[in-house]
Structure 1
Amino acid sequence: MRWLGWGSVLWIQLMLSSLAWGASVESMRIWRAPDSTRLVFDLSAPVEHSLFPLKNPDRLVIDLSGAEMSSAVSKLATDNTPVKQLRWAPRNGKDLRIVLDLNASVKPRSFLLKPNASYGHRLVLDLDDQQRSSVKTVEEVVAPGASRSADVIIAIDAGHGGEDPGAIGYRGLKEKEVVLKIARELAKLLEAEPGFKPVLVRTGDYYVGLRKRTQRAREANADLLVSIHADAFKDRKANGASVFAISQRGATSETARWLASSENSSDLIGGVGGVSLDDKDSVLAGVLLDLSMTASLSASLDAGSEVLKEVGQVNRLHKRRVEQAAFVVLKSPDIPSILVETGFITNPTDGKNLASDAHQKRLARSIFNGVKRYFTRTPPPGTYLAGHKRGNQQHHVIARGDTLSSIASRYRVSVASLRQHNKLDADLLRIGQVIQIP
């Protein structure tokens, strides 16, 4: 070893260090949701890990194989979370042990995430609150045989959230922030409208799993799920808004998933007072699910068409018809669901518009108008809107693309009766015009 210079010795020490520690924890982030907490460890490389709880007092231990804690890691703010404090130390000379001292018991889940456009390797730790959720089930809200709520319930899903920023575009604009603002504005409009009740799937900057989004809509007994997003594409020229419903292929695959999953066998299909699958044979269960998915898809396309017409009045449309894709958030078999892409956040013009409070409010208003028109025309039985429709003559507000023939077909009346009833001498209609349906 005498012939080795200090530079060589230093190089060997660095090599030995890299063999001892294959990865380092470079930073940590924590996000609080109403019923859970997400803790994210940013890693320099993937690691093997184990997780186990300890009692008296409550603690959670995470062991990372061949890892170390970077000296650059700053203290984590754990206020308003079940984590009292977080501490760590080397273990066995080559591993890292992280201990979470807890002030409340939690149900932990952990998983690794691969790098994406925003982050590198990550270890994600979800801490679900153990106490009973304040959200009531459908069975608790409405007992069997009871009449349903007088309000049409709209579940509003702002995409992404927490450590998932969604698309990032114009001047660092984050999709998660834009869509939450639009969702909150839409909720305000629905709250002020008689006969409607909004339910926000996420109310703050935290992440909600895709399946959990539809689950929360179901727990709220929603009549429609509206998921709000802002598109992104590698070509910055791509622009315009879109509305999506589930594809037939996606609906078919979801039917199979429900039938194959025992955890879904007792869920209600078709809303409150609907059909439970747990006492049905596989053939009948498949037929019931298929009918439910078909009905939900038809309603989704109808509601999506109304929203698309309205959005097209405040934003250029990327496609002039409701598109269909297998988005997970649209796959509820018993809730009509649409996904609104409010524009391309990666496009300079769309991005600038999406950053504007005024444009966000116009988009929210357009979604509201479309939703309102759909449910005014086809209100769920037993709702305020259904009773209002029976007590008043039906009318239709002219939207872009409407013609007398299309309106006649929609309401199953003749064009001649429309003309006569509204004293129309010609087929010329103007946007915003109100006509009575005979």
Structure 2
Amino acid sequence: MSKSSTLPLAALAPRRPTRRYLLLKGIGFIAIHAAAWPDRAAHAAGILGVRVWPSQAYTRVTLELEQRLVVQHQLLESPLRLVIDLQDLQIDNALRQLPSIIPSDDPWIAQLRVGQFQPRIVRLVFDLRQSVRVEIFESLPVGPYQRRWMIDLHPEREPDALQALLNRRFAARSEEPGLEQLIEDLAKRDADRKDGAARTRRPAPSPAIAEGSQAVGTTSGSANPASGMADPAAGPKSPPTGSTTTAGQTTRLASSSVSNLAARIIAIDAGHGGEDPGAIGPSGLKEKDVVLDVARKLAERLAGDQGLRPALIRESDYFVPLGQRVRKARALKADLMLSVHADAFTEPRARGASAFVLAEGAASSASARYLAQKENAADELGGVDLRRRDKDATRILLELSTRTQIRESSDLASLLLGQLGRIGQLHKSKVERAGFAVLRAPDVPSVLVETAFISNPEEEQRLADPGYRDQLADALHLGIKQYLVANATIGAKPR
């Protein structure tokens, strides 16, 4: 007979929960509900920063934050409004201040209102001045930035770049011929171009010789073959006495040699912009600001030459994707394109100017390949919808640049180096080649110029000097005109 398995009556009575039991049960409850519900603490993190980049091309509003967001938007009419809902977010001081940094003269946004639409939804309401095309996308962390949401307001219909250039030109210079006369001139020049297509093109002059001037040296010190860098121990090159390009020389060349080159369009691309500052010097000088100023100065000089029409790819502080820069130059039917930059390197002693053209194959040096990779990453920093960028890049790569374009680009680059060597040291005395995305227009001779090393304290100081920027603009101006004169038998593009 087995023993009874019954328990004492006291053992069946309910036990008083211990402190450990309650603690473990509480932790389990929190864990289960945290897994089942969204993280309600996430929206308390707030916005890290808000920025606005207005321009006549488009306006960008940037929201930088440390967590993912669900963003929904809709366009409403009567009146025109863009409504954006930011989910899992609570309004904070940064968002409250956003309306105050919208410029009163923004071409797209009349007013912005921000409010807590629901407990976990912040609503932005943009009152619009005109119909817009909206692009909203997320940019993953890169460089100094965390996650960013880009809100881009574009014109509903992109303006014709060439027509806009001509309209501005006519408005600014009343002495210009009317549109009908210009069309006639272009048609005649196109006919002349076809008649002279079989002529032999005159070779470009040596980059060391400026028209009507003496021979000019290029570098001081010897190159370091191991690093591909000019000897950093050598001081800045002193321009030869009397060799600096003067305003008088520029004026004489313009009036005597370029007057018959009507309807030549020069696309000037100031690198970086907007969210992408480019390289930053030791004292905080930003590449995007320097090169925009140089580009504007160059445009002013070219605009003073009869028949030459400069076109700035970006006219103020906003970002233009690399592929769009190429497309704009082609839409303008530009006769050449110059992309202006200011280099940076890990070694602060690096100095001097360089000129680059597109490589058919491998880069001409390791430093050229490194620079191209760095410049081609600008889209990530500047903020580009990756879904569109991939399609654009594929389309551009399919249009492989011709050898003629590269040869003409090299001629232009050599002349630009010759003029830059007159006002300062050259980093490389020969034209470099690499796979720069901004140089991939197959029918536009294109050159990327690094005016100096902004990472070098001495060169940063020079780049900060408006007088030196004037010299850079003068040098680029004269180099471009030398190229046009040397290739005068090649007619302007039919437009």
TM-score by length of structure 1 reads: 0.69
The residue number in structure 2 matching 1:19 is 41
Structure 2 residue identity aligned to 1:315: G
The residue number in structure 1 matching 2:105 is 80
Does the aligned pair in 2 maintain the 1:239–1:344 contact within 8 Å? Answer: yes
Is 1:127 matched up with 2:239?
no
Q: 1:19 to 1:126 in 2, by over 3 A?
A: same
Task: Measure, in 2, the Cα distance between the counterparts of 1:114 and 1:47.
Answer: 12
Q: 1:91 to 1:77 in 2, by over 3 A?
A: closer
Structure 1 residue identity aligned to 2:427: H
Task: Measure, in 2, the Cα distance between the counterparts of 1:54 and 1:261.
Answer: 30
The residue number in structure 1 matching 2:408 is 299
Task: Measure, in 1, the Cα distance between the counterparts of 2:486 and 2:445.
Answer: 15
Is 1:197 matched up with 2:309?
yes
Q: Following TM superposition, by how much is the alpha carbon of 1:355 offset from its aligned partner in structure 2, in angstroms? A: 0.6
Q: Which structure 2 residues correspond to residues 107-146 of structure 1 after superposition, within 5 A?
A: 107-130=133-156, 133=159, 135-136=161-162
Higher strand share: 1
Higher RCO (CA-CA < 8 Å; seq separation 6+): 2
Task: Measure, in 1, the Cα distance between the counterparts of 2:80 and 2:468.
Answer: 48
Q: Following TM superposition, by how much is the alpha carbon of 1:349 offset from its aligned partner in structure 2, in angstroms? A: 1.1
Structure 2 residue identity aligned to 1:79: S
Structure 1 residue identity aligned to 2:464: A
Structure 2 residue runs without a partner (length 5+): 1-18, 23-29, 166-178, 191-260, 364-389
The residue number in structure 2 matching 1:68 is 90
Q: Which structure 2 residues correspond to residues 313-392 of structure 1 after superposition, within 5 A?
A: 313-379=422-488, 381-382=490-491
Is 1:233 matched up with 2:363?
no
| Larger Cα-atom Rg | 2
Secondary structure of 1:309's aligned partner: helix
Task: Measure, in 2, the Cα distance between the counterparts of 1:226 and 1:343.
Answer: 15
Is 1:45 matched up with 2:67?
yes
Segment of structure 1 superposing worse, 32-41 or 113-122 = 113-122
Report Cα offsets for 1:324-378 as digits up to 9, x if no partner: 1222211111101001111111110111111111211111111122212222111
Q: Following TM superposition, by how much is the alpha carbon of 1:20 offset from its aligned partner in structure 2, in angstroms? A: 4.4
Is 1:147 matched up with 2:179?
no
Q: Following TM superposition, by how much is the alpha carbon of 1:32 offset from its aligned partner in structure 2, in angstroms? A: 1.9
Task: Measure, in 2, the Cα distance between the counterparts of 1:49 and 1:317.
Answer: 49
Secondary structure of 2:189's aligned partner: coil
Q: CA-atom RMSD, angstroms?
A: 3.4
Structure 2 residue identity aligned to 1:246: L
Q: Following TM superposition, by how much is the alpha carbon of 1:250 offset from its aligned partner in structure 2, in angstroms? A: 8.7
Q: Following TM superposition, by how much is the alpha carbon of 1:381 offset from its aligned partner in structure 2, in angstroms? A: 3.1
Structure 1 counterpart of 2:276, from 145, 156, 164 = 164
Structure 1 residue runs without a partner (length 5+): 5-11, 252-259, 268-285, 385-438
Does the aligned pair in 1 maintain the 2:353–2:420 contact within 8 Å? Answer: yes
Task: Measure, in 2, the Cα distance between the counterparts of 1:35 and 1:161.
Answer: 13
Task: Measure, in 2, the Cα distance between the counterparts of 1:142 and 1:328.
Answer: 33
Task: Measure, in 1, the Cα distance between the counterparts of 2:322 and 2:356.
Answer: 16
Q: 1:347 to 1:261 in 2, by over 3 A?
A: closer
Q: Following TM superposition, by how much is the alpha carbon of 1:124 offset from its aligned partner in structure 2, in angstroms? A: 0.8
Structure 2 residue identity aligned to 1:216: K
Does the aligned pair in 1 maintain the 2:50–2:94 contact within 8 Å? Answer: no
Q: 1:195 to 1:333 in 2, by over 3 A?
A: same
Does the aligned pair in 2 maintain the 1:33–1:204 contact within 8 Å? Answer: yes
Structure 2 residue identity aligned to 1:30: V
Structure 2 residue identity aligned to 1:76: I
Q: Following TM superposition, by how much is the alpha carbon of 1:64 offset from its aligned partner in structure 2, in angstroms? A: 2.5
The residue number in structure 2 matching 1:311 is 420
Structure 2 residue identity aligned to 1:375: L
Structure 1 residue identity aligned to 2:77: K
Report Cα offsets for 1:32-72 as digits up to 9, x if no partner: 22231111112233433233222222221223232233224
Q: 1:145 to 1:358 in 2, by over 3 A?
A: closer
TM-score by length of structure 2 reads: 0.62
Structure 2 residue identity aligned to 1:24: G
Task: Measure, in 1, the Cα distance between the counterparts of 2:316 and 2:305.
Answer: 23
Q: Following TM superposition, by how much is the alpha carbon of 1:263 offset from its aligned partner in structure 2, in angstroms? A: 12
Aligned length, in residue pairs: 342
- Identity among equivalent positions (%) equals 37
